């Protein structure tokens, strides 16, 4: 399988998110990206349970990493906007690889 162009995939995700969640924000997308990028640099992205000392988006990202390739993962992306923001940031930081 070939890796999908992450920028194209991110653009598709954002377009889909705006259709699904009418309150989806480009500014929030950028803020979450910066948070996840910093968390990755500090080693805070792990397949660990929620930690009340961590930001909600870091906890969401860790949940997605923990449930990647499961039905729970897909469900989270369609039901909770926080998980969608975190997923876009994980793709943008190459923490989750998407395939064609």
pTM of the predicted model as reported, rounded to 2 decimal places: 0.84
Is residue 12 a part of any domain in this protein?
A: no
The pLDDT of residue 98 is above 80: no
pLDDT tens digits for range 2-26: 445 667 778 888 888 888 888 888 8
Is residue 6 a part of any domain in this protein?
A: no
Is residue 3 a part of any domain in this protein?
A: no
For residue 80, the enclosing domain spans 24-92
Q: How many structural domains comprise the chain?
A: 1
The pLDDT of residue 69 is above 50: yes
The pLDDT of residue 44 is above 70: yes
Is residue 49 a part of any domain in this protein?
A: yes
Length of the chain: 100
Is residue 17 a part of any domain in this protein?
A: no
Name residues whose C-beta falls within 8 Å of residue 12's C-beta, 6 or more positions apart in sequence: none
What distance, in Å, lies between the first and last C-alpha atoms of the chain? 7
Is residue 43 a part of any domain in this protein?
A: yes
96 backbone dihedrals φ, ψ, rounded to 5°: -130, 130
Q: Which two tokens stand for residue 77?
A: 């992306």
Average pLDDT (70-92) is: 91
Name residues whose C-beta falls within 8 Å of residue 5's C-beta, 6 or more positions apart in sequence: none
The pLDDT of residue 89 is above 90: yes
SS3 annotation, 40-73: HHCCCCCCCCCCCCCCHHHHHHHHHHHHCCCHHH
Is residue 87 a part of any domain in this protein?
A: yes
Average pLDDT (31-40) is: 96
Is residue 38 a part of any domain in this protein?
A: yes
Q: Round to whole Å and give the CA distance between 81 and 16.
A: 12
What pLDDT score does 2 carry? 41
């Amino acid at each position: 399988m070939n890796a999908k162009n992450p920028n194209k995939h991110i653009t598709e995700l954002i377009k889909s998110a705006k259709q699904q969640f009418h309150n989806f924000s480009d500014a929030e997308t950028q803020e979450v990206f910066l948070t996840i990028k910093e968390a990755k640099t500090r080693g805070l992205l792990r397949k660990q349970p929620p930690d009340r000392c961590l930001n909600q988006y870091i906890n969401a990202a860790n949940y997605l990493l923990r449930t990647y390739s499961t039905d729970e993962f897909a469900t989270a992306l369609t039901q909770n906007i926080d998980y969608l923001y975190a997923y876009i940031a994980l793709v943008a930081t190459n923490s989750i690889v998407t395939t064609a």
